């Protein structure tokens, strides 16, 4: 395994540097456009080109692999567990990270392109926020250091607030402040959990923490560790927007621009995965942690999808559906088998793409009419036949209709829950998929199929070509993963086997 | 000494967090809410730094003339100290954004009452 | 009064309380009804999972849950009212969830 892979740190460094640079130039729209296009194109290409490897930031490889430093050190360092501990911030880039970071890069790429071409004067600040968020979520996926993850978790939370603040949607400031207040309760709890882990194991590197627990250097059932587990799980609920945070998370999505909502949900999905993987890696020996993840995922599915049906604003409706679909990923994690975790990770990748497609697709309605209330809309099929078709296909994909990708991952989830002897979970998942489809069809019917209300004004005539192209590209990703699921699962299986 | 310094810090941290949660839930003034949130954050930071405390420990700088075994047995744990600095910076920036938002909302509503500004809307 | 009328009346009551304007349309009533059925059926199926713990407990709980649901019939309007966007409700549920999670993990890991 090569440790000299420069592309791994560049995945994080390029977006952050360019983001800071763009923020300075936010009046010069031409320069902003050129730089944004280049960085956006780099986002998915760097992870595609990078080799698998490990990167040590601000330190060096463990002494066991590093004889030049290890020679001459006393035996109470080289002869103990210190010899294999990681004295650096470690970034691990494996096959699962490669797939997830590439997908995140693609979602961000399309969001940036659309936001550049939908407005006359592109805003450097908005692109800055998207790039900063993408870089921090990528870092969370890569990082093997739990405190480094916490830092990027906070940066991601602040950028999410920023994305909502620049949207100019009604009442966005109030929602942003609510999110910050709720977040300021939850993230110190996550920090407290990390502090407890640090206190017990003396480490922040996850591999070393797992080593300490597995080899009995610390007592695995000490109450402090149980407390740490519960606090980290609480932080995870906040980061992912699972209940009780589902209302604020869906409000955040609905107060952002469509492109903003598309990247926000991708952030939540991959933050969910990053923290969920860590919880399973460290605490999988606690059987109750898995039961809890399964339970909270079922609650998220039921609450998210039933709340979605009753919404009257289509952005909020999609937002609640997005929160509900997160539960499917959690079910895969909660089952705890290799097959289940692979299915959960696959569902995460699929959901990031499909929900982004739905947000962008319904965003075209907002672009044309500046209206989000369902009861004021209608007859849009005549106005936007192309995007209507794409939105319909996206809805079918979300509900898990073949040949799209979510069908494959939901099928895998159902199979793995049957294998684990929990047919009830499978039944609930299928039932909620049907309700998801019904919810989507209700919105689709009201917006596109029923007669157009007389007072509905069309403000913008043509949808930009780049929006349609972006939607087609996202749909192609859905189709490819739906027809060849091995393409994704082969990448994800390694991580699932490592943590199950 | 009645109480161990580390235990005292941990108890203070717990008290700060509990007071902060109480304030966030029950105080209506937004500025007071933010102060309570700062309490929670500070409690977590104090907790983190108390983890690195060592009774009778020395500063973790290896000075010339020190024997290695003496240093390794007496030095305090440096990691929490480094981490808490980052955490304080994050807390400060979050609070800056919150206070900025409160200024904007205060101009819009002419009030600082959370139930009026952050109600069901 | 059949159940549909009953639910329609309840939705109207909730709408009056929340100050929501506009008539109760066919679509909104159907949506509420779907949500209601979804939540009841998932709850009952969820309770069946307790068979892994204890079969007698599961049977007893199914009957009890069924009765409770039947008494509290339109659940969804109440649930929707609880999940509103006001900060007070949100932070209340966040703290309640924190307390539940901490105690559940402590108890659950020592007993399950």
CA-based nearest distance A130→chain C, Å: 25
Taking the Cβ of residue C85 and every Cβ of chain B, the question of whether any pair is shorter than 8 Å is answered with: yes
Highest mean pLDDT: which range of A83-87, A231-235, B51-55, C82-86:
A231-235
Determine whether the interchain pair C38/A425 forms a contact, defined as Cβ–Cβ distance below 8 Å. Answer: no
| SS3 of residue A370 by DSSP | coil
Q: A91 has which bridge partners? A: A55, A143
Smallest CA–CA distance from A184 into chain B, residue:
B37
Taking the CA of residue A91 as centre, how many other CA atoms within 13 Å lie in the half-sphere pointing to its CB?
A: 28
Convert the pLDDT of each residue in A375-398 to its tens digit. 888 888 888 888 899 999 999 999
Rounded Cα–Cα distance for residues A301 and A341 (Å)? 17
Whether B114 has its CB under 8 Å from any CB of chain C: the answer is yes
Its ipTM equals 0.93
Count up the domains in chain A and report the number: 1
User: Which residues constitute the domain of residue A349?
Assistant: 286-500
C49 to chain A: closest CA residue: A424
Chain-chain contact of C39 with A302 (C-beta, under 8 angstroms): yes
Cβ-defined contact of C91 to B121 (cutoff 8 Å): no
With an 8 Å Cβ cutoff, is C88 touching chain B? yes
List the 141-180 stretch of A: residues with Cβ below 8 A of C.
175, 178
Instruction: Please list every residue in chain C whose beta carbon sits closer than 8 Å to the beta carbon of residue A230.
Output: 101-102, 104-106
Calculate how close chain B gets to A166, using CA atoms only, in Å: 12
At A456, the pLDDT band (50, 70, 90 cuts) reads confident
Please identify which residue in the block is written with the tokens 């099929």: A381
When pLDDT is cut at 50, 70 and 90, the band that residue A332 belongs to is: very high
Phi first, then psi, for residue B29 (nearest 5°) are -65, 130
Tell me the sheet residues that pair with A295.
none
Instruction: Return the sign of the alpha-carbon dihedral for residues A139, A142, A147, A149.
Output: positive
> pLDDT confidence of A14, banded at 50, 70, 90?
very high
* CB of A211 closer than 8 Å to CB of A84: yes
Contacts of A485 (CB under 8 A, 6+ apart): A346, A405, A408, A409, A412
Contact check, Cβ <8 Å, B90/A195:
no
Q: Which residues pair with A92 in a beta bridge?
A: A54
Joined tokens for residue B18: 């509990």
- Could you tell me which chain A residue has the CA closest to the CA of C80? A307
C87 to chain B: which residues are within 8 Å by CB?
A: 114, 118-119
- Per the model's pLDDT, the better-predicted residue between A262 and C109 turns out to be A262
Two tokens, residue C27: 């679509």
- For residue A426, CA distances in Å to A323, A396, A413, A431, B96 come to 19, 19, 8, 9, 46
- Cβ neighbours of residue C19 closer than 8 Å, sequence gap 6 or more: none
Instruction: Give the closest of C18, C84, C91 to B24, CB-based.
Output: C91
Mean pLDDT of chain A: 90
Most confidently modeled of A23-32, B21-30, C102-111?
Answer: B21-30
* Residues from chain C contacting residue A432 (CB–CB below 8 Å): 38, 42
**Paired strand residues for B58:** B75
Q: How far is CA A331 from CA A29, A271, A281, A304, A424, in A?
A: 45, 16, 16, 14, 12
For the cut 50, the answer to whether the pLDDT of residue A113 exceeds it is: yes
Q: Is there a contact between A417 and A331 (Cβ–Cβ < 8 Å)?
A: yes
Residue A1's pLDDT is what?
41
The band of A26, judged by pLDDT with boundaries at 50, 70 and 90, is low
Kindly identify which residue of chain A lies nearest to residue C96, measuring between CA atoms.
Answer: A244
Cα B53 → chain centroid: 16
What are the φ/ψ torsions at residue B58 (nearest 5 degrees)?
-115, 165
Confidence tier at A153 by pLDDT (50, 70, 90): very high
Looking up tokens 């399309």 gives A110
Residue from C14, C17, C80, C86 to probe the interface with B (highest B Cβ count within 10 Å): C86
B119 touches chain C (CB under 8 A): yes
Angle at which helices A423-444 and C26-48 cross, to 10°: 170
Cβ <8 Å between C85 and B120: yes
Q: Which residues contact C57 (CB under 8 A, 6 or more apart)?
A: C50
B121 in reach of chain C (CB within 8 A): yes
Nearest to A379 by CA among A462, A450, A461, A442: A450
SS3 A422: coil
Residue whose pair of structure tokens reads 């869906």 in the numeric block: A250
The whole-angstrom separation of Cα C96 and Cα A450 is 43
DSSP state of A57: E
The answer to whether residue A245 is domain-embedded is no
* pLDDT tens sequence across A81-108: 888 888 888 999 999 999 999 999 999 9
pLDDT digits (tens, 9 = 90+) for B62-105: 888 888 788 878 888 888 888 899 999 999 999 999 999 999 99
- Cβ-based neighbours of A420, under 8 Å, separated by 6 or more: A335, A336, A337, A340
Looking at chain C, which subunits does it touch, using at least 3 CB pairs closer than 8 Å as the criterion? A, B
Question: In terms of pLDDT, which residue wins out, A284 or A59?
Answer: A284
Provide, as residue numbers in chain C, all residues whose Cβ is less than 8 Å from the Cβ of A336.
none
Ranking A139-148, A355-364, B11-20, C23-32 by mean pLDDT, the lowest is C23-32
A247 in contact with C, Cβ within 8 Å: yes
Beta-carbon contacts of residue C105 (< 8 Å; ≥ 6 apart): A226, A227, A229, A230, A233, A288, A289, A292
**Residue A152: inside a domain:** no
CA dist., res. B27 & res. C72, Å (int): 33
Q: Looking at A284-384, list the stretches that DSSP marks H as alpha helix, in order from N- to C-terminal side.
A: 287-309, 314-335, 338-369, 380-383
Write the pLDDT tens digit of every residue in A52-87: 988 888 778 888 888 888 887 777 777 788 888 888
Interface of A with C in 284-343 (CB under 8 A): 286-289, 291-292, 298, 301-303, 305-307, 309-310, 312
The token duo for A231 is: 């606090």
Contacts of A173 in chain B (CB under 8 A): 101, 104-105, 108
| pLDDT over 70 percentage in chain C | 82
**A310 and C28: CB-CB below 8 Å?**
yes
C35·A182 Cβ contact <8 A: no
Residues of A in contact with C43 (CB under 8 A): 302
Closest residue in A to B54 (Cα–Cα): A199
Domain contains A140: no
Answer left, alpha or beta for residue A400, where phi above 0 means left and psi between -120 and 50 means alpha. left
- Quick check: C48 and A288 CB within 8 A? no
With respect to residue A336, please indicate whether it lies within any of the assigned structural domains. yes
A191 touches chain C (CB under 8 A): no
- B5-117: CATH class: mainly alpha
- Least CB–CB distance from C83: residue in A227, A307, A435: A307
Which of C18, C84, C88 faces B115 most closely, judged by CB atoms? C88
Phi, psi values for residue A373, rounded to 5°: -75, 130
Q: Are B90 and A198 within 8 A, CB to CB? A: no
More confident call, B68 vs A427: A427
Q: Which of A135-144, A468-477, C34-43 has the lowest mean pLDDT?
A: C34-43
Cβ distance C7 to C74 under 8 Å? yes
Q: Which residues of A touch C98 (CB under 8 A)?
A: 185, 189, 234
Please check whether residue B112 touches C, CB under 8 A: no
The pLDDT of residue A23 is 81
Best probe of the B interface among C14, C18, C19, C87, by most B CBs < 10 A, is C87
User: What pLDDT does C112 receive?
Assistant: 57
For residue A434, what pLDDT is reported?
Answer: 92
Report the alpha-carbon distance of residue B18 to residue B39 in Å, rounded. Answer: 9
Query: A66: Cβ–Cβ under 8 A, 6 or more apart, which residues?
Result: A60
- CA-CA distances (angstroms) from residue A297 to A6, A294, B112, C108? 38, 5, 37, 18
Give the gap in angstroms from C-alpha A322 to the nearest C-alpha of chain C. 16
Q: Supply the DSSP symbol for A348.
A: H
Q: Where are the domains of chain C?
A: 3-83
Q: How many helices (H) and strands (E) does chain B have?
A: 5, 0
Average pLDDT over residues A353-366: 92
To the nearest 10°, report the CA torsion of A172, A176, A178, A181.
Answer: -160
| Interface contact flag, B40 A188, Cβ < 8 Å | yes
For residue C111, pLDDT over 80 is answered with: no
- What would the mean pLDDT of B10-35 be, rounded to a whole number? 93
In this prediction, residue A298 has a pLDDT band, given cuts at 50, 70 and 90, of: very high
**In whole angstroms, how far apart are CA C109 and each of A294, A458, C68, C95, C101?**
15, 58, 30, 21, 12
Say if C91 is an interface residue toward chain B (CB within 8 Å): yes
Poorest-pLDDT segment among A47-61, A473-487, B28-42, C13-27: C13-27
Per the structure block, which two tokens stand in for A220? 């695995």
- Residue A64 DSSP label: G
Closest alpha carbon to C88 in A161, B31, B114, A252:
B114
A181–C91 C-beta distance less than 8 A? yes
Measured distance CA(A131)–CA(A421) in Å, rounded: 43
Backbone φ and ψ for A334, nearest 5 degrees, come out as -70, -30
């Amino acid at each position: 395994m090569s440790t000299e892979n420069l592309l791994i740190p560049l995945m994080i460094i390029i977006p952050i540097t360019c983001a800071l640079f763009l923020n300075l130039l936010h009046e010069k729209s031409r320069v902003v456009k050129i730089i944004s296009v280049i960085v956006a194109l780099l986002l998915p290409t760097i992870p595609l080109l990078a080799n698998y490897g490990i990167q040590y930031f601000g330190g060096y490889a463990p002494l066991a692999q590093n004889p030049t430093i290890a020679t001459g050190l006393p035996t109470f360092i080289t002869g103990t567990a210190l010899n294999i501990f990681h004295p650096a911030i470690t970034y691990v880039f494996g096959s699962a990270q490669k797939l997830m970071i590439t997908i995140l890069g693609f979602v961000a790429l399309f969001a940036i392109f659309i936001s550049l071409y939908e407005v006359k004067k592109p805003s450097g600040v908005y692109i800055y926020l998207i790039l900063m968020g993408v870089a921090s979520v990528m870092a969370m996926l890569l990082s093997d250091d739990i405190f480094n993850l916490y830092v990027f978790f906070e940066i991601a939370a602040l950028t999410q607030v920023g994305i909502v603040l620049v949207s100019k949607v009604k009442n966005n400031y109030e929602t942003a402040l609510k999110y910050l207040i709720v977040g300021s309760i939850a993230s110190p709890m996550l920090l407290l959990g990390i502090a407890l882990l640090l206190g017990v194991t003396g480490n922040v590197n996850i591999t070393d923490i797992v080593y300490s627990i597995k080899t009995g250097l610390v007592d695995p059932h000490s109450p402090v560790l149980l407390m740490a587990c519960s606090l980290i799980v609480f932080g995870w609920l906040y980061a992912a927007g699972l209940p009780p945070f589902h209302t604020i998370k869906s409000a955040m999505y609905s107060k952002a621009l469509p492109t903003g909502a598309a990247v926000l949900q991708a952030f939540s999905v991959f933050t969910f995965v990053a923290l969920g993987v860590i919880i399973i890696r460290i605490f999988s020996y606690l059987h109750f942690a898995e039961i809890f993840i399964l339970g909270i995922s079922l609650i998220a599915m039921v609450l998210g999808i039933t709340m979605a049906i009753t919404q009257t604003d289509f952005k909020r409706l999609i937002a609640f559906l997005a929160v509900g679909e997160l539960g499917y990923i959690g079910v895969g994690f909660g089952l705890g088998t290799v097959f289940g975790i692979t299915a959960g990770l696959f569902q995460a990748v699929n959901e990031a793409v499909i929900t982004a497609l739905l947000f962008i697709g319904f965003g075209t309605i907002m672009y044309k009419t500046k209206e989000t209330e369902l009861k004021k809309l209608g007859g849009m099929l005549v106005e936007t036949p192309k995007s209507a078709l794409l939105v319909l296909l996206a809805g079918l994909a979300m509900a898990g209709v073949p040949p799209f990708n979510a069908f494959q991952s939901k099928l895998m989830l159902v199979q793995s829950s049957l294998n684990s002897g929990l047919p009830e979970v499978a039944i609930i998942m299928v039932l909620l998929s049907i309700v998801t489809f019904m919810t989507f069809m209700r919105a689709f019917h009201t917006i596109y199929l029923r007669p157009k209300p007389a007072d509905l004004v069309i403000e913008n005539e043509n949808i930009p070509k780049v929006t349609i192209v972006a939607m087609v590209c996202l749909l192609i990703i859905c189709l490819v993963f739906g027809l060849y699921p091995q393409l994704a699962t082969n990448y994800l299986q390694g991580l699932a086997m490592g943590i199950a | 000494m009645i109480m161990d310094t580390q235990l005292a810090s941990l108890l203070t941290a717990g008290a700060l967090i509990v007071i902060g949660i109480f304030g966030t839930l029950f105080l209506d003034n937004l500025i007071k809410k933010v102060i309570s949130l700062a309490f929670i954050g500070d409690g977590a930071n104090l907790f983190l730094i108390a983890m690195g405390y060592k009774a009778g420990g020395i500063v973790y700088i290896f000075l010339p003339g020190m024997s290695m075994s003496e240093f390794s047995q007496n030095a305090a744990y440096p990691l929490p100290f480094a981490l808490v600095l980052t955490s304080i910076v994050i807390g400060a920036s979050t609070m800056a954004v919150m206070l900025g938002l409160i200024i904007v909302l205060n101009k819009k509503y002419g009030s600082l009452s959370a139930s009026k500004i952050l109600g069901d809307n | 009064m059949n159940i549909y009328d009953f639910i329609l009346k309840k939705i109207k009551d909730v709408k009056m309380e929340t100050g929501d304007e506009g008539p109760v349309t066919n679509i909104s009533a159907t949506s509420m009804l779907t949500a209601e059925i979804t939540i009841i059926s998932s709850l009952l199926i969820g309770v069946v999972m307790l068979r892994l713990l204890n079969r007698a407990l599961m049977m007893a709980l199914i009957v009890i849950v069924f009765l409770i649901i039947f008494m509290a019939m339109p659940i969804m309007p109440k649930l929707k009212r609880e999940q509103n966007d006001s900060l007070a409700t949100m932070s209340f549920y966040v703290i309640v969830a924190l307390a539940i999670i901490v105690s559940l993990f402590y108890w659950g890991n020592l007993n399950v």
